[in-house]
Structure 1
Amino acid sequence: MKNWAWSVIIAVLALVLLASASFYSVSMTQTAVVLQFGKAVRVVESPGLYMKWPIAQNVAFVNKSLSSYSTQPESFLTVGKKPVLISLFAEWRVTDPLVFYARLHNDGAAGSRIGDVLRSALRSEVGKMTLKSVIQGQRSKMMDPVLAEANKRLQPLGVHLVDLRILQVGLPTDVLQAVYKRMEAERAEEANAYRSEGAADAAKIRAEANKEQTRIMADAYRQQEELKGQGDAEAASIYGAAYGKDPAFYSFYRSLEAYRHSLSDKDVLVLSPDAPFFRYFRHSLEPAGK
């Protein structure tokens, strides 16, 4: 009885193992490749439970949803042999599971091959462009040829790139320092040009101001001379009118003014006593008035 029980148990286990080896399930995100003695015989894309021959057949699963691939910044040479750092991000999917499994087997190998193809295509495209166009240009225009070339090379592998984008564009440290120095020199040159232009404008403004100052001073001097002439004429007219009314008194008044300006503590005059200058010292006012 004991041996019979063990036989039943062994038989049940054998049936369970046979059943587990005879059935397989496919999820919505997978495609199953049925292999018979290592050779692919069919592809199952619809999700569900399926049967296969145990031992003779096994199943490999291929992901049919979108997969992503990204790179670290790598150096590429432009047309002027200038290095530029570029990193990429791509999304891809399997289009032919049989070919994909036969050529690549799994996603790891696929990512490695996709990276090689993208680097080669990008290196060829960047080599046609200048450093300025790579950094400042529209990225889609640079990536479209790379995407087309990469898909052309990946098609025989059963892989298709759905999207390709640039994550980062930069410059190596030594090139970046050189660019900064060149930019600094350009800005310094622009600043010097602005300073020179400002100095020229300032000199022009000063010249115009000096010219205007000279004109204003000349005009003021002319007006001054005109007013001075008018004053002298008016004074002469007043003097003449005063002299006409009383010549003797006017002569006496002018002599007193001359005495007041000429005779001081510091002045020394050497004149003859008979000089006309002292006529009012020699005579009285009444005879002088006559």
Structure 2
Amino acid sequence: MTINCKGKLIDFSVPKVMGILNLTPDSFYDGGKYKNQDEILLRTEKMLNEGANFIDIGGYSSKPNASFVTEEEEIKRVIPIVKLLAETFPDILISVDSFRAKVAQESIAAGAAIINDISAGNLDDKMIPTIGKLQVPYLMMHMRGTPQTMQTKTTYNNLTQEINYYFSQKIQEAYNAGINDIIIDPGFGFAKTTEQNFELFKQLDIFKHFQLPILVGISRKSMLYKTLETTPDNALNATSVLNTYALLNGANILRVHDVKEAVECVKLTQKLMF
């Protein structure tokens, strides 16, 4: 199983790690932490040195009830940092977390390699055709509604079956648009209750039948810290536990705040599996 990133073939026979770089002031865990270029460069260098295969940049928080951000503001936050990182770290593979086609287009032009769309094209009907023209890997997530409304849309008749059907449709739409490299993300925490997140987690291996890379992003999320009655700051151990479970059940990419610990999860689970 492989994807093509800027002419580089990424092989998922060994799972990969995607480090999170939030450029938003209101992210649930590290919002506003990286305020200037020096801090951003130090954070990125640290993640790369710890073994991150991808760096995921976001300029619009997708936490429940997140503040609306205009397209102009998102571009202002994201594009200069994509350019900065691409120039500073020539071999970096940057993923840009956006549901807007214009942001995607400008990000790829600035040096990004992957587009990570929480809505799988549902919030901008130009997104999937744009990715098809750009010929870059497309990470599509399951979500209902928007970050502002998603937690009111948690009623399902059969959670896993409905998400499976959603991906069947979205993958076909992407292929029809000429997208060759697709990654799927079940969307833990997006239009799902804590109980539904755990139900979905237990059935993660169902999505292996698509024969596409599966990304799991549960780093320090509320399904962990609320279950343990703690805070995001104290949810690193919980993140490692479920990242390990995810790897043993088919995850190919871990999207995390803490790269070193995720890389250790990959190394140890590889010893168990091979």
Common fold, TM-score beyond 0.5? no
With the length of structure 2 as denominator, give the TM-score of the two structures. Answer: 0.20
- Higher helix residue share: 1
Larger radius of gyration: 1
With the length of structure 1 as denominator, give the TM-score of the two structures. Answer: 0.20
Q: Which has the higher contact order (CA 8 A, sep 6+)?
A: 2
